[in-house]
Amino acid sequence: MKNVLVTGGKGQLATCIKDIVKDNLDNNCNFIYVDIDELDITKAGKVNTFFKNNNITHCINCAAYTAVDDAESNESLVEAVNVTGAKNLAIACSDSGAILIQISTDFVFNGKQTSFYDEEDLENPLGVYGLTKLNGEKAVFKYLKENFIIRTSWLYSEYNHNFLKTMLRLGRERDKLGVVCDQIGTPTYASDLAIIIVKVIMEENLPYGIYHYSNEGVASWYDFAKAIFEESKIQVDLSPIKSEAYPTPAERPKFSVLDKSKIKKELKLEIPYWRDSLKKCILKINDND
């Protein structure tokens, strides 16, 4: 029996994992979803006890402090969740022989290069969020030599708070909007990522290490917003603006497109184009309205 612990159990990625596995796995897999109320991953003793009591064989760490701007003024809390939490899970996995899948981010890069970022490129985060996620990766490697780290980018879904949900709300509230056009990356549908995470769990021979995953294609935040409004048939006067016109506490990478060659080769994947996945997500939102 595989007992799979999913932290950050109320977040959008964990919820998408729940959707993926409920109808697609046999009885040999038991998924256990926990949020901070059930398990505070910053508490080492509680983590170790939970692993032992539930005979955990796999752990998907979706728990993270992801509010990029707020992170700049809450460094100790961000460090506790993104670094100490990852460390505690890695130690518990090492002690119990469990497999850890740590979810990370494109924000570990500074966005200064113009080619796609692969797993061997030098990390150099710009802010507290990216730095703590990188240090979380390092903690995992320090305490658990054999692990999976999956970096992703611009995650959205029909669940919780994300850029898609914000644009849908603002598009209905306002006649005009300005969205930055000089930050380039790839929107990633959390449901597509959830499918990959489940594949990693079920795959017996996948080499351990760092993998990059996002949807295919390249977009700016302006492109992403424009596609959202087009697919949702929302009429709004959308203007492209430069980052300097919309100052934020945290600096964002200007270019953070991830190279997915490694994960495509190892899992023999065909990754959906970002706009095709966006269309699927918006259809789900409309069906639920």
Domain ranges of the chain: 2-161+188-216+255-272
Q: Using alpha carbons only, give the angle 225, 227, 233 rounded to the nearest 5 degrees.
A: 105
The per-residue pLDDT for 274 is 98
Q: How confident is the model at residue 27 (pLDDT cuts 50, 70, 90)?
A: low
Percent of the chain with pLDDT over 70: 98
Calculate mean pLDDT across residues 268-274: 96
Judge whether 184 and 257 are in contact, CB under 8 Å. yes
Calculate mean pLDDT across residues 71-80: 96
d(CA 51, CA 280): 36
- In the annotation, is 129 catalytic? yes
Taking only the tens place, the pLDDT of each residue in 232-243 is: 999 999 999 999
Judge whether 34 and 20 are in contact, CB under 8 Å. no
Bridge-based pairing state of the strands 219-220 and 184-185 = antiparallel
The per-residue pLDDT for 205 is 87
Taking only the tens place, the pLDDT of each residue in 173-219 is: 999 999 999 999 999 999 999 999 999 998 888 999 999 999 999 99
Catalytic residue selected from 129, 143, 213, 222: 129
The per-residue pLDDT for 218 is 97
- Average pLDDT over the chain reads 94
pLDDT above 80: residue 89: yes
The pTM of this model reads 0.94
For residue 240 the two structure tokens come to: 């492209």
pLDDT above 80: residue 25: no
Q: How confident is the model at residue 23 (pLDDT cuts 50, 70, 90)?
A: low
For residue 191 the two structure tokens come to: 């449901």
Q: How confident is the model at residue 288 (pLDDT cuts 50, 70, 90)?
A: confident
pLDDT above 90: residue 26: no
Calculate mean pLDDT across residues 33-60: 96
Calculate mean pLDDT across residues 159-176: 94
Q: How many CB atoms lie within 10 A of CB 148?
A: 22
Indicate the CATH number of 2-161+188-216+255-272 among 3.30.420.40, 3.40.718.10, 3.90.1530.30, 3.40.50.720. Answer: 3.40.50.720
Q: Enumerate the β-bridge partners of residue 180.
A: 241
Single-letter amino acid, residue 205: N
The per-residue pLDDT for 287 is 79
